């Protein structure tokens, strides 16, 4: 199953990333490794105390 042509295009819909410019989102695209995950999988979690 192929991923979206622009996997970072949905970031502007997330409150955390809503204020990023197109250039900032493009920079994140260059820094972040590509990957796929099944729906419901946790890809990031806050450490427990």
Q: Is residue 37 included in any domain, yes or no? A: no
Domains identified in the chain, total number: 1
> pLDDT tens digits, residue range 25-39?
888 878 877 778 888
- In this structure, is residue 22 part of a structural domain? yes
The answer to whether residue 14 is domain-embedded is yes
Residue 44 belongs to a domain:
no
Cβ proximity of 11 and 20 under 8 Å: yes
User: 45: which 2 tokens?
Assistant: 């979690």
Q: For residue 1, is it within any domain?
A: no
Q: CA torsion sign, 34 to 5 to 1 to 44?
A: positive
pLDDT for 12-24, tens place per residue?
778 888 888 888 8
Domain carrying residue 15: 8-32
Decide: 7 and 34 in contact? Cβ < 8 Å.
yes
Quick check: is 12 in a domain? Answer: yes
Greater pLDDT, 6 or 20 = 20
Q: Is residue 20 part of a domain?
A: yes
């Amino acid at each position: 199953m192929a991923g979206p042509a622009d996997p970072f295009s949905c970031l502007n819909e997330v409150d955390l990333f809503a204020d990023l410019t197109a250039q900032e989102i493009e920079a994140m695209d260059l820094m972040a490794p590509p990957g796929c995950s099944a729906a419901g999988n946790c890809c990031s979690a806050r450490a427990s105390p």
